[in-house]
Amino acid sequence: MKNSSLLKIGLVGTVISALCCFTPILVVVFGAIGLSAMIVWLDYLLIPALLFFVVLTVYALIRRKKSLTYQ
């Protein structure tokens, strides 16, 4: 996968995960559509997703820096 694609996926995923973790967006949406019982499981899904996308972004930045150094 290209460095720019990895970086874009990492950044978009990090922003979306951070918005869903630190703001009550999903709580309001799940409550509005009647899935409020699923709110209990959000922490088990969103925190690992946030960590994954942060690691992916850091990896893409390191890979991008290495490729720019060798050119």
pLDDT band for position 65 (50/70/90)? confident
From its phi and psi, is residue 34 left (phi > 0), alpha (psi between -120 and 50) or beta? Answer: left
Quote the pLDDT of residue 71: 64
pLDDT in tens, 10-59: 999 888 888 877 767 778 888 889 888 877 787 788 889 889 999 999 99
Nearest alpha carbon to residue 58 among 20, 6, 19: 6
pTM to 2 decimal places = 0.74
Distance CA 49, CA 21 (A): 10
In terms of Cβ atoms closer than 10 Å to its own Cβ (0-12, 13-18, 19+), residue 2 is: exposed
